[in-house]
Amino acid sequence: MSASSNAERGGGKLTTHEYLGEGDIVKVRLWLVVYRVIFAALLLPLIPQPALVGAEGFGPFPVRNFQAFQQLVLSLPGDRAAVVKPGTLDVRLELAETASIYNDTSPQTDVIVKFETLRSGLFLRYGATDRLELGLEVPVFYRYQGFMNGAITATERATTGLNPARDALKNTNFVFNVTRNGQRIMSGGPGAMGLGDTTLMSKYQLLTEGAAMPAVSLRGAVKLPTGDQSAFFGSGSPDFGLGLAVEKLVAGRWMLYGNVTGVVPTGTIAGFGLRPTLSGLAAIEYMWSENLSITAHFDFYSSPFHGTGAKTFDQGVTESVLGFSYRVAPHFLWQVYAVENLDFIRGSAADFTVSTVFTYRFESGLSRQ
């Protein structure tokens, strides 16, 4: 029997998902991401670059778990170990657009979701002492049908095939419906907007970077229940987080970063119990010049939910991140990054996120010294 006849069933050709199988789809997408990162890393050193003078990097992107339900629990953004100088104030505005799509059914819980969320976050960071940094973040959420579905659909069809959930919901522009044991517990319509939970953060630098020693900082955070719980933009309960951040300059132009964070949530969300979470980030930044760098991440987040019967809630998230940082002016930084899930159809990650970040730094006379 020919290969073409083997790729047919009932007179119709198999889709990419049917022919390869779900496990093969995951491997193909994973290797595509790995290939792009490795190719970029090998190519960049071959291109002539401007000289660096006192380059220190811009740090990892402030990425977090953007999954529609897991982000209701405290998730610390990616950060570097170095603290800002005393008297320095950073004002950061982040606009993150996330596409979420799930068609997850089980005997206990059904999750039917197709929407996009715009997360607008205002972040303030202040250098209190030579080693202590304090921060505050206030997010606002907007849930609607979005604009990325066409581009994501075209990309999937051209690469690994259409996501089964996207195929099943192709005639639906917006849906948000979660039921448990036949009872609706989470739902909403397009156009919902509301305040998210506020986060208070601190970072204390334990070690400064040396010739062989990386910089190491201790991070702490408390999430305050200021979010709109009725629209599922807040959990209604405080959360507490503690973690470590490390960074090290290697080979002149490469910065390595690592974050590990544990979070203890409290309360419940839509009747689901919560458990402590663990997240990790590994990032590498290539400094093209003093004003431009390219950064790649690998991120992992365990789920705060358990025993719901739906993988959308219970399974963790693994993602890759790629983007650039550009210093437009001495005190103005612009960053753009994209987040692609690596667990795909098996896991619970958001489908795709694209974000732009604007940071303006105010320096006092003390911080300039």
DSSP 85: P
Asked if residue 4 is part of any domain, the answer here is: no
Give residues with Cβ within 8 angstroms of 31, minimum separation 6: none
Nearest alpha carbon to residue 344 among 369, 327, 319: 319
Asked if residue 194 is part of any domain, the answer here is: yes
Mean pLDDT, the chain, integer: 87
| Distance from chain centroid for Cα 118 | 13
Asked if residue 285 is part of any domain, the answer here is: yes
Q: Would you place residue 347 in the very low, low, confident or very high pLDDT band (cuts 50, 70, 90)?
A: low
pTM of the model: 0.84
Asked if residue 305 is part of any domain, the answer here is: yes
Domains in the chain: how many in total? Answer: 1
Asked if residue 242 is part of any domain, the answer here is: yes
Q: What is the pLDDT of residues 54-69, one digit of tens each?
A: 446 899 999 999 999 9
Q: Strand, helix or coil at 368?
A: helix
| Cβ–Cβ < 8 Å for 305, 272 | yes
In this structure, what CATH number is given to the domain that contains residue 133?
2.40.160.40
Q: What is the pLDDT of residues 191-248, one digit of tens each?
A: 999 999 999 999 999 999 998 999 999 999 999 999 999 999 999 999 999 999 999 9
- Compute the average pLDDT of residues 76-95: 97
Tell whether the model's pLDDT for residue 354 goes beyond 50: yes
Tell me phi and psi for residue 154, to 5 degrees. Answer: -65, -40
Question: Can you give the pLDDT at residue 359?
Answer: 97
Asked if residue 10 is part of any domain, the answer here is: no
Asked if residue 3 is part of any domain, the answer here is: no
Nearest alpha carbon to residue 59 among 352, 284, 357: 284
Tell whether the model's pLDDT for residue 353 goes beyond 90: yes
In single-letter form, the type of residue at position 272 comes to F
Give the structural domain span for 178: 16-368
Q: Strand, helix or coil at 142?
A: strand
% the chain with pLDDT above 90: 77
Asked if residue 349 is part of any domain, the answer here is: yes
| Distance from chain centroid for Cα 5 | 42
